Amino acid sequence: MDAEKRIASQDADAKELLLHLAERDYKGCIVSIQRLAELKEEIKERYSQGSFDEEFYRLRLAFFEFKVPETLPEPKSIIVVAVPRPQAQATFSFGGKKTALILPPTYVAYQQTTDHVAEFLTGILKEKGYKIARTALPLKLLAVRSGLAEYGMNNISYVSGFGSFFQLVAFYSDLPCREDSWREARMMKQCENCQACRRSCPTHAISSDRFLLHADRCIVFHNEKKGDVPFPSWIDSSWHNCLYGCLHCQRVCPEDGHFMNWIVEREEFSQEETELLLKGATALPTATLEKLKNLDLADPDSLDNLPRNLRAFFGSSKGDLEHKHIEGGEEGIMSEMIAYCGLDCKECKAFKATLAKDIEWKKQIAKHWTEELKVKFKPEDVDCNGCKSDMISGWCRKICKIRPCAREKKIRTCAHCDNYSCDMLKEFLSKEEPVATKNLEKIRKTLEF
């Protein structure tokens, strides 16, 4: 009888905890500590299957620890909590204009939120004789497997009533958990007939064949890197939309429609302050540092990569936009994604389908090419990393005469050729979109002959 009473009391303690969380407009879930091994195994299996880009895994996932700290000798459960969080806004004055840049949920007050939940849980559980300990776990996967959240097609986790505007926090505890709602990871039913996020993602990091993001293609992965790592040439400057992170997919998601206007006004930076930040100045005024602290951007890592991220919107402090300037004084149109003929490889369907690793899209393109050229194309013939790469599409291999000519002459584009514009190029440009001609002419203006 005593054992039954103890179990009933423990169950009541767990239910009471979840009620306390709900009273604060949080949502929580408790799972058995036995799930820790399954969580570890799933990450290990995904890695061994090659689901994670190697660099992404090393930088973002390798820090996970699936070992309970010694401060909690008899762990029995993992408590997962979702805390609703807004976007934050920082306004920068530059060039006579004010530009408001967004920081998505969790970028501001992340540690404070974690500490607040820890304090809240400790206050409730201590009275019952229980303790908690911090975790370093894959929170999205934990929340989805626990039943608290579901994946969206964009690989972001969603909680009912919160959309994707929340922060996840998890703690080990010695609070017993006899039953939980552990389940296989799954995608929301709402995503089954919706392609909004996939269509809106300019980098094609979201594919139709899985809800695991191609993280190496996500803007977030790149704008969180160290400041001395430039953005890849294939990321167009117009794709940047947040100071850190990215909201392309969330802005079009029906599940997030009610939360997109939930923006907290934070700090405003003057022209002088913006210029200092663009320069990467290490000696900042006290007032500027305080503003950065309020945005959680005063730590060494943020001060390191903030200048690069700002330049994506404003350029250098001298007013020369970095994304429109490269070594030698030539315009940004000279990037390696501009083909020899002047076309922009980033806008090519074959290039986009390759980035997205979308086999169905490749099949459609291959079918179209087969019908147009009366030559058989396979989906793998669509694979292309751009005209100047070593992997070009079957279409270009079969019909393009300009590429082999330019490579033989060892020129960057036809605009660099002494025989510009030759009959072969004129014939090609007469059949193509005007953008190719405009690109080449723009390059010509930067060159001296």
pLDDT in tens, 73-88: 999 999 999 999 999 9
The reply to whether 98 and 160 lie within a common domain is yes
The reply to whether 222 and 280 lie within a common domain is yes
The reply to whether 271 and 178 lie within a common domain is no
Burial (CB < 10 A; 0-12, 13-18, 19+), residue 59, is: middle
The reply to whether 111 and 169 lie within a common domain is yes
Q: What is the pLDDT of residue 433?
A: 67
What is the dihedral sign for C-alpha 113, 117, 118, 123?
positive
E strands within 174-313? Answer: 263-269
Q: Is 364 helix (H, G, I), strand (E, B) or coil?
A: helix
Helices (H), 315-389: 349-356, 359-373
Rounded CA separation 50/47 (Å): 5
The reply to whether 218 and 148 lie within a common domain is no
The reply to whether 183 and 68 lie within a common domain is yes
- Indicate whether 333 pLDDT > 60: no
End position of a domain, from candidates 188, 213, 229: 188
Q: What is the pLDDT of residue 215?
A: 83
Q: Provide the 8-state DSSP code for 74.
A: S
The reply to whether 345 and 300 lie within a common domain is no
- The confidence band for 252, taking pLDDT boundaries of 50, 70 and 90, is very high
Omega prior to 164 cis, within 30 of 0: no
Percentage above 70 pLDDT, the chain: 93
End position of a domain, from candidates 148, 172, 188: 188
The reply to whether 211 and 82 lie within a common domain is no
The reply to whether 283 and 423 lie within a common domain is no
Whole-model pTM: value is 0.71
Q: What is the pLDDT of residues 240-251, one digit of tens each?
A: 999 999 999 999
First to last CA, the chain: 96
The reply to whether 8 and 40 lie within a common domain is yes
- Indicate whether 292 pLDDT > 90: yes
Provide the number of structural domains found in the chain.
3
pLDDT (average), residues 102-117 = 95
| Bigger pLDDT: 349 vs 77 | 77
Q: What is the pLDDT of residue 325?
A: 34
The reply to whether 161 and 215 lie within a common domain is no
- Indicate whether 257 pLDDT > 50: yes
The reply to whether 357 and 420 lie within a common domain is yes
Alpha carbon of 340 to those of 118, 362, 396: distances in Å? Answer: 58, 24, 12
End position of a domain, from candidates 188, 220, 238: 188
- Indicate whether 327 pLDDT > 70: no
* 8 A C-beta contact, residue 324 and residue 436: no
pLDDT (average), residues 103-128 = 95
Q: What is the pLDDT of residue 336?
A: 57
Residue 256, amino acid = D
Which residue range is the domain that position 318 belongs to? 196-324
